[in-house]
Amino acid sequence: MADDRNTNDRNSPSPFHPISPSRTTVLIADDHPIFRQGLKQLIEKQPGFHVVAEAEDGETAFDLITAHTPTVAVLDLNMPELDGFAVAHRVQQKKLRVKIVILTMHKDELLSRAPAVAMV
């Protein structure tokens, strides 16, 4: 049976995630430490991904985003100090080149704030 992997990716631990010369850096912000730890473990199992910082509130998240300028910031919608949308808005205002992912367990809350998502 033929090997479907690209011949350039033979050293990759997964045929679906080829090794990349660049690294994707990630910040995780969530006020639940067990969730943060689990998400960090999942992210760091992916080749080319590295969690550079973690925050338990929005204010700390913004400070760490400014200090580390990660490729991606994964933000909980509901956090103390600043919520995920407020952090994303500050990132946008400072014109930081960080991609934002907003997480929430509450579908209705995200839908009710959809206009805010479009502005960020």
53 and 68 in contact (C-beta within 8 Å)?
Answer: yes
CATH number given to 46-98: 3.40.50.2300
AA identity, residue 38: G
Ranges 48-62, 74-88, 100-114: which has the least confidence: 100-114
CA distance 113 to 3: 46
In contact, 86 and 60? CB cutoff 8 Å: no
Instruction: Please tell me the predicted confidence (pLDDT) of residue 103.
Output: 84
Reduced DSSP (H G I as helix, E B as strand, rest coil) percent helix, strand, coil of the chain, to 5: 40, 20, 40
* Contact between residue 25 and residue 52 where contact means Cβ atoms under 8 Å apart: yes
pLDDT, one tens digit per residue, over 96-118 is 999 999 888 766 655 555 545 44
Q: How many CB atoms lie within 10 A of CB 28?
A: 26
Confidence (pLDDT) at 9? 41
Is the pLDDT score of 34 beyond 90? yes
Both tokens assigned to 93: 């205002």
